[in-house]
A and B are shown apart, each in its own frame.
Chain A
Amino acid sequence: MKRSGVDLLVGLFVLLGFAGLVFLAMRAGNMSSALGLGPTYTAVARFDNIGGLKPRAAVRSAGVVVGRVESIRFDDQSYQAEVALALDQRYRFPKDSSAKILTSGLLGEQYIGLTPGGDEEMLAEGDRITLTQSAVVLENLIGQFLYGRAAEGAPPQ
């Protein structure tokens, strides 16, 4: 085969291979949503228990993804988990918004639900979300249920 013929075919092969990779990453994977948030501002929230929350988990308000969890660290002054949220700059939330850790579906992964408050001032870069609700821990729930049942069956005092 002529020199240029071989070069053309090899070039086509390489381009096809990279196109396949790009398709897998962007269309089959979540690269476009993981990277394509645009400019964001950071808010911080403290939780007693983050459950199974992971970095890059979604932050949703009214069910729509408005940001991503940036980082999770343990604060050894308050002995709470400190979660940094990267929120899309397009969406402003009042200062007294509340953050809850919710689970998508019954067995799904955990995400942060943001409920807007009524304050006139909006969250700025680096602000702290004060109203938080930790993740539901199954053992605590079972314990509550058992103690509740035990109290019901106990003799009147």
Chain B
Amino acid sequence: MTRALLLPFVWLLDFVAYTGRAARFFVRLCGLGIASLRRPRLVVDQIHFIGNYSLSIILVSGLLIGFVLGLQGYYTLRRYGSEEALGVLVTLSLVRELGPVVTALLFAGRAGTSLTAEIGLMKAGEQIDAMEMMAVDPVARVLAPRFAAAVFAMPLLAALFSAFGVLGGYLVGVEMIGVDPGAFWSQMQSGVDWLDDVGNGVLKSIVFAFTVAFVSLFVGYEARPTPEGVARATTTTVVSSSLAILALDFILTALMFSST
């Protein structure tokens, strides 16, 4: 009877302990991530697996989202006679919000799950324990290079997403529909500030990169070393990263764009 009553408190304590473990792991990853740059070979290999292999989905998605933005933006702006503002609409939407957020969501789905699965399977195959037996710190040798690579690659992917989105908006708006190209580019160039808009977008993508990299590696490291545990861990990665990204996006947007 008392045991059932105490259950919520046990859960609360477990949750707080989990949060503490996660925080300590995050700090450790950051420190070891910087240290892993002393072995650039490892980091470069990971950038290849995480960054290069994500290029296809990021670039194509950016292009397609640019197409849709161009189309929908044109239909709405036409009602108010402001079709010439299509360039600034597409670019601001991408650079401020869609670029960082959608890239982070796609990245969590593609690279985040592969990181979690890899670490989880290494744990299930007892490779992590074997490394500890050999006095090699598995976090420093395996996890930290992946962390550094993910944090480095994701902002670049977000920039490419936005760039291809702008290109997509141009192709649909100017080439397909017939918006004046001069107005498209000139209004965009005067309406998009490189520090306030592009810079803040880059800052957002860096924060999201830390989030996705940390969540996928931590969840993989804490996964139960069974096939079922790895499967649940990959699900947790996608769900937790996505929710964290969207929540952080709201907070960051409120912080960055409230005054302008």
Q: Is the interface of B mostly helix, strand, loop or mixed?
A: helix
A14 CB-CB contact with B under 8 Å: yes
Q: Of the listed stretches B46-54, B112-120, B210-218, name the one at the interface; the rest are far from the partner chain.
A: B46-54
A33 CB-CB contact with B under 8 Å: yes
Roughly how many angstroms separate A8 CA and B195 CA in the complex, as a whole number? 31
The 8 A CB mask of A12-47 against B (1 = contact, 0 = none) is: 011011101101111111111110000000000000
Find residues 173-195 in chain B having any chain A CB closer than 8 Å to their own CB.
185, 188-195
Most B CB atoms within 10 A — which of A10, A17, A24, A30?
A24
Count contacts between A and B, CB distance < 8 Å: 89
Is the pair B194, A29 in contact by a Cβ cutoff of 8 Å?
A: yes
B95 CB-CB contact with A under 8 Å: yes
Is the pair B198, A17 in contact by a Cβ cutoff of 8 Å?
A: no
Is the pair B45, A6 in contact by a Cβ cutoff of 8 Å?
A: yes
Complex interface: chain A residues within 8 A of B252 (CB) = none
Q: Of the listed stretches B13-21, B158-166, B225-233, name the one at the interface; the rest are far from the partner chain.
A: B158-166
Is the pair B190, A30 in contact by a Cβ cutoff of 8 Å?
A: yes
Is the pair A34, B194 in contact by a Cβ cutoff of 8 Å?
A: yes
Complex interface: chain B residues within 8 A of A28 (CB) = 91, 95, 162-163, 166, 188-189, 192, 198
Q: Is the interface of A mostly helix, strand, loop or mixed?
A: helix
B55 CB-CB contact with A under 8 Å: yes
Is the pair B197, A29 in contact by a Cβ cutoff of 8 Å?
A: yes
Interface residues of A (CB under 8 A from B): 6-7, 9-10, 13-14, 16-18, 20-21, 23-34
Q: List 18 A-B contacts (CB under 8 A).
A: A10-B51, A13-B47, A13-B48, A13-B51, A16-B160, A17-B153, A18-B156, A21-B156, A25-B198, A28-B91, A28-B95, A29-B91, A29-B193, A29-B194, A29-B198, A30-B192, A30-B193, A33-B190
